[in-house]
Structure 1
């Protein structure tokens, strides 16, 4: 049986990007007027400050950056607007804006790569896989030894079911940072997709030895055991996943798998409390991966 790949921590990576806001990209401080009830007052704005606000208060930051642009903020203000759109969930608009502004910013390669990565992430969330792949590839061209970018592109390629390309990116990422449990689990699932279960098992054992409470790893381990008929082993892994995963997607999938193991239909059982997405008739009897 085949399972559905659970893409790792998509939302958390969008909300806490590893490749932009952790990098200092301070420009000169610019004074601009911000409208208040008492009239316009000068507020010090710079690229770092505005990007931090885009993450924490995207609606406010977007309006602020628009005013900043009118007051002469230029490309820095346009970058801030694009990032605010990303955190507002306006993915296509953010990607278009980022692609327009990145080439004219003149920032160092590491920072530019991070921005191309965010453009790729925006396209990915807009379900534009080809455009996402193009921007991720630009990012990796500037920073070929950045495991975060490789893992992000692998995530995007998994969404497009390009499993061999996913495997290549994860192999590279793990050659650069061999302790990345998220990459190990994702590679194990990719190998399971490709029918390489012995190798998948090795990756999973290593991942769970480093992080025994990794919910996604436990979910996948249970799925693989269920595929080979080891129901007690699958039940143990899924139960552990539920215990450590809380309300996460991995926890919900493990809970559904446990219900199926007991002969229940979680789609019907959950209906009175919460409408569940319609299951694919070809896969509803298989362990859930997400």
Structure 2
């Protein structure tokens, strides 16, 4: 499951329960709902078809916001990102006014992730911008939008988002790795290498940072350094997109040599 599609802070996104009996009974209902939500989200990772059916059944029983969230995540895992994106957007708009802004923004940001997976970058950017309008100080959503901006070749705008994200959370290696890539595309290779090194100082195995530093080292003529980073990336993350790009770069390097 995409790390940005993990269970939300469950009790924060539930509407206030109307206690119909003792407080103990209300707490029991709350606990059962929380367990059902986490079980459904785990199932989405293992068997998304079954999770989708479970979420629909749970909605019929009054599962509300958590059931609808699990349904949308299951659709993502079933390879239907456009359908999932529409559900996430509908859910964010339908959440109670008492829901904390951070939770609503996260759900709208999930729509952005889904639109990006569906290849609709304009709608992805619109959803992420809407999420940031709701909760401007989310480092993760700023990184999400920067990814879309980079794919649209709006590199300076991506850098602006990443600058803010890093101000809010200077410990996220993914933000430094993405900013390194954006800096390379605007030909600020010194800043790009600095960011790649900062990402790897936080996480020596960060895949995008290893890929990016390898590219930057190759551009500097340090072919041995580039090879070392790319081989390490493949060893640690074989099968991931960054590792596949590293393998292709190594093949080109071998042909030239």
Under a length normalisation based on structure 1, what TM-score does the superposition of the two structures give?
A: 0.72
Pair member with larger Rg = 1
The reply on whether 1:101 has 2:91 as its aligned counterpart is yes
Q: What is the correspondence of 1:3-22 to structure 2 with a 5 Å cutoff? A: 12-13=2-3, 17=5, 20-22=7-9
* Contact 2:139/2:168 (<8 A) preserved: yes
Deviation at 1:121, TM superposition (A): 1.1
* Contact 2:8/2:103 (<8 A) preserved: no
Q: What is the correspondence of 1:19-168 to structure 2 with a 5 Å cutoff? A: 20-24=7-11, 25-27=13-15, 28=17, 46=33, 49-50=36-37, 52-57=39-44, 58-73=48-63, 77-106=67-96, 107-168=99-160
Deviation at 1:184, TM superposition (A): 0.5
Please state which structure has a larger fraction of its residues in strand: 1
* Contact 1:221/1:237 (<8 A) preserved: yes
* Contact 2:14/2:66 (<8 A) preserved: no
Greater relative CO (CA pairs within 8 A, separation 6+): 1
1:228 alignment partner in structure 2:
220
Root-mean-square deviation (CA, aligned residues, Å) is 2.8
Per the alignment, do residues 205 and 82 of structure 1 end up closer, same or farther by CA in structure 2, a change over 3 Å counting? closer
Unaligned regions of 5+ residues in structure 1, if any? 1-10, 30-43, 266-290
Report the number of matched residues: 238
* Contact 2:40/2:55 (<8 A) preserved: no
Structure 1 runs of 4+ with >6 Å offset = none
Deviation at 1:263, TM superposition (A): 1.5
Pairing partner for 2:178 from 176, 186, 211: 186
Unaligned regions of 5+ residues in structure 2, if any? 19-30
Please state which structure has a larger fraction of its residues in helix: 2
Return the alpha-carbon distance in structure 2 between the equivalents of residues 77 and 211 of structure 1: 35
* Contact 1:120/1:134 (<8 A) preserved: yes
